[in-house]
Amino acid sequence: MPEPKTVATHCPYCALQCGTRLSRERAGVTVRPSDFPVNKGGLCQKGWTAPTLLDTPDRLRHPLVRDAGGRLVPVDWDTALDKVAGELRRIQAAHGRDSVAVFGGGGLTNEKAYLLGKFARVALGTSQIDYNGRFCMSSAAAAGNAAFGLDRGLPFPVTDLGAADVVLLAGANPAETMPPLMQHLAHPELIVIDPRRSATAERAALHLQPAPGTDLALALGLLHIAVVDGWTDTDYIRGRTTGFDAAWQLALSWWPERVERVTGVAVSAQRTAVRMLAEAERAHVLTGRGAEQHSKGSDTVAGFINLALALGLPGREGSGYGCLTGQGNGQGGREHGQKADQLPGYRMITDPGSREHIARLWGVAADSLPGPGRSAYELLDALGTEGGARALLVFGSNPAVSAPNAGHITERLSSLDLLVVADFVPSETTRMADVVLPVTQWAEEDGTMTNLEGRILRRRRLQVPPSHARSDLEVLHGLAVRLGEPGHRYPTAPREVFDELRRASAGGKADYSGITYDRLESGEALHWPCPDNQNPDAPHPGTPRLFLDGFAHPDGRARFAAVDHRDAAELPGTAFPLHATTGRVLAQYQSGAQTRRIAELNEAAPESFMEIHPDTADRAGLRDGALARVSSARGETVARVRLVGTMRTDTVFLPFHFPDDERANLITGDALDPRSRMPEFKVSAVRVRSADEVGR
């Protein structure tokens, strides 16, 4: 069949998954935005330039194996896969099944994520699998499951936001991270909670600027005001929730003046925020990474959910709570088996019934499936140690840049007996690999993605990949067969994998069983859960809006969480007197492995920088445009100084997209949320000084 000249597909970057039309023309591939609901004909700078990556000069085109001289040299596929399979067998024979680990990515299609989890647990028999989505919205997932019995980023369509009167954004900066979303936030008044005056905060009716790590204290204070000032929806609390009294007992001690002392947010601003939300006919509370990436991230998100519940927002037409998912398939990526504790369909791996269901589908014994493994950071931290993995397979991730405490994680990667990386462009992690496997990218493959509103989308192939690149599905098939697995267990056709995924998800929280490629091709808007109702004439329409008739707990009620503020794992002191917080910028994406290859984006954001208040910079002897060293107890990074008068004087900001000695994650720590195992990216104690100062 000839390749199409134009396809309807979706942007390869964030979880908004903007609709696009790709065309092959004489001058190359061009992109145009579609009038798709989430982007309404808009694209950001990254989306417009995405086709540039398809023919980047340093595209990975051949398998590479490190030779005796330490060089990565091209080999054929049989040689590469034989080497990987042989080393995996040797390592597991000597050290056990869990001596091999798998690290996935939130940008993989649903089909890839599903087959990767199956490959890890059946072909390798290892419990050691997790993915970089653990660094994305795991805290919101933990809090959402506890509160509502179900975790879906937005339990309503994005388009509902446009009809709202007020939207509170806690730790989210969509003006830079997903600009087309701002079309839906043009009408509502915005309340933005962010330690920095971000591009989104600039558009806000009200900007609350707490000290890093104090978001939960602020959430508790807002709940306190809602109760004491009489703004709560008491009928909703009585009729649709449980646990309010226990949550209120903890919020009771967070009176506004105490919150102001802890957070720096004025009492008047706190009261204004609550009044705006409570008086709105339609209001939403949304959280992002700024609320989640803390050692208490799950509790922080729960604090904002408590506020939303007290005001009667979730499960109400036109109002609600949601989380702005970050990565393109961060939602689907964890629903179908990449996460250490989950099986497909958002089933828990410790549940006997779930294990039996999946094992029966896979044709293996339930007791042969491993139990839960280490979370992402813990998996990486244990590499090469006693009891940790000695081999690591990485698909669609660049942990040498994206993991916290990156200097330490780089050391752990270097200690491995075998590091295998499947990617389509070189990265800081492929540079360390023993074997590099070149795989297809977004416009060269079919598949499905699940966006931030739980909508399943078709990714369509426009062009053939380079002749020696293979899909991740083909790579997994080739390795599985070499490890002794029957080939039919690992299909290479995305449609066939999706059909199996549908059956695996049936009856689970994230039920895709009623979704088919044919329905997606016809243009139906299908949000999970979408069970197979066995009625071909009137199939299940999907569930764009959750919780309108009840929450997903057995009693149909949402749960308040009894949470209290506690300090960040690391506070500023004499040696490291400032807070550092990290985030994204408009022109770059994640670890930058893709966007740093696009000239237009690199011109817009070519290097790391540090935003700092002029008074703070003056005390440190720093001038605008100079290079600074930012140091923590773990390491040091280099960044260009930007004087920003709206920054807090106790805080500096750095983007995390840049490589080598510009890695912001060289300074971030390894404190983890006890429930979600999310690292504390957003708060590090640092000192700053001129890059010219050596040994001081």
Residue 136: the pLDDT is 87
Residue 290: how many CA atoms within 13 Å on its side-chain side? 29
Q: What is the largest CA-CA distance in the chain?
A: 74
Provide Rg for the chain, Cα atoms.
Answer: 24
Q: What is the pLDDT of residues 84-114, one digit of tens each?
A: 999 999 999 999 999 999 999 999 999 999 9
Residues in the chain: 696
Instruction: Give the model confidence (pLDDT) of 509-529 as tens digits.
Output: 999 999 999 999 998 999 999
Give the pLDDT confidence score for residue 695 in this predicted structure: 46
| 358 neighbors 342 (Cβ within 8 angstroms) | no
User: Who contacts 678 (Cβ-Cβ below 8 Å, separation ≥6)?
Assistant: 134, 135, 138, 139, 292, 293, 294, 295, 297, 298, 672
Question: Among residues 592, 668, 120, 665, which one has the least CA distance to residue 392?
Answer: 120
Which residues of the chain, if any, have pLDDT below 50? 695-696
Instruction: Please state the pTM of the whole predicted model.
Output: 0.97
Tokens encoding 160: 């509902």
- At residue 618's C-alpha, the angle toward residues 614 and 620, to 5°, is 120
Domains of the chain and any CATH numbers: 6-55 (2.20.25.90), 64-135+331-492 (3.40.50.740), 138-324 (3.40.228.10), 578-690 (2.40.40.20)
Residues with Cβ < 8 Å from 331, sequence gap 6 or more? 15, 152, 153, 325, 450, 451, 452, 454
Distances (CA, A) of 566 to 236, 269, 536, 563: 29, 22, 53, 10
